[in-house]
């Protein structure tokens, strides 16, 4: 059976190493996995519980639909000022009020930590926030796979074989 994995980058940078890692996953995913990058992070409105009602903002609807269609989610995020980027925290806040079947609740999730510096603060926060969403963190799909900007080719993909194998392992383990 074909399974769908939603890939969510916490970086909006054009040359993002986090997005490059996720883009590479779409190229190398094992057969049977349909890996899709969520591209609406910058379009999400600031979370406001008053707006968490129908009709939802179109980008919030798109986000929730993308999550519903996915069997699992993989995040890749930088650390800013010792924490998650505000834009990614905002995305996660929008997932919490979704009480429909197929929401992030109990959905398997993992992450790639591409930071050569570790970004421990961001990933501790990611785990804590995912706990509040009641997502199911799959520890074998949470990997530290350092990626530098020099490793990203002009096609936006990572060429290094060991890195590609490690990235494929993250989605295979879901
Ligand atoms: C404003 C700002 C704050 C940052 N704060 C941290 C930090 O606290 N810890 C850290 O490890 N890296 C920090 N960084 C470095 C980024 O996490 C790093 O450049 C990351 O690779 C960016 O990811 P990207 O290539 O996907 O955009 C910061 C970068 C910026 C621009």
pLDDT the model gives residue 78: 98
What is the distance in A from the centroid of ligand 1 to the CA of 37?
Answer: 21
Q: Which atom of ligand 1 is nearest to the CA of 20?
A: 26
Q: End-to-end CA distance of the chain: give it in Å, rounded.
A: 14
The pick from 80, 118, 126, 150 for probing ligand 1's pocket by mutation, whose C-beta has the most ligand atoms within 8 angstroms, reads 80
Q: What's the pLDDT score for residue 86?
A: 98
Question: How many domains are contained in the chain?
Answer: 1
Domain that holds residue 156: 3-172
CATH code of the domain in which 72 resides: 3.40.50.360
The reported pLDDT for the residue numbered 21 is 98
What pLDDT does residue 173 have? Answer: 87
Q: Kindly report the protein residue whose alpha carbon is nearest to atom 23 of ligand 1.
A: 78
Tens digit of each residue's pLDDT, the chain (174 residues): 899 999 999 999 999 999 999 999 999 998 999 999 999 999 999 999 999 999 999 999 999 999 999 999 999 999 999 999 999 999 999 999 999 999 999 999 999 999 999 999 999 999 999 999 999 999 999 999 999 999 999 999 999 999 999 999 999 988
pLDDT at 1: 80
């Amino acid at each position: 059976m074909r399974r769908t994995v939603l890939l969510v980058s916490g970086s909006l940078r054009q040359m993002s190493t986090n997005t490059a890692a996720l883009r590479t996953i779409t190229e190398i995913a094992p057969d049977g996995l349909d890996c899709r990058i969520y591209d609406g992070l910058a379009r999400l409105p600031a979370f406001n519980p008053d707006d968490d009602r129908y009709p939802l903002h179109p980008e919030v609807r798109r986000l929730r639909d993308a999550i519903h269609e996915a069997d699992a989610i993989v995040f890749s995020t930088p650390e800013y000022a010792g924490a998650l980027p505000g834009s990614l925290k905002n995305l996660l806040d929008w997932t919490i009020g979704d009480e429909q079947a197929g929401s992030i609740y109990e959905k398997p999730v993992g992450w790639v930590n591409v930071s050569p510096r570790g970004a421990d603060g961001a990933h501790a926060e990611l785990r804590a926030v995912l706990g509040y969403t009641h997502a199911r963190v799959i520890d074998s799909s949470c990997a530290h796979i350092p990626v530098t900007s020099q490793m990203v080719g002009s096609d936006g993909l990572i060429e290094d074989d060991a890195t590609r194998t490690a990235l494929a392992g993250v989605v295979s383990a879901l």
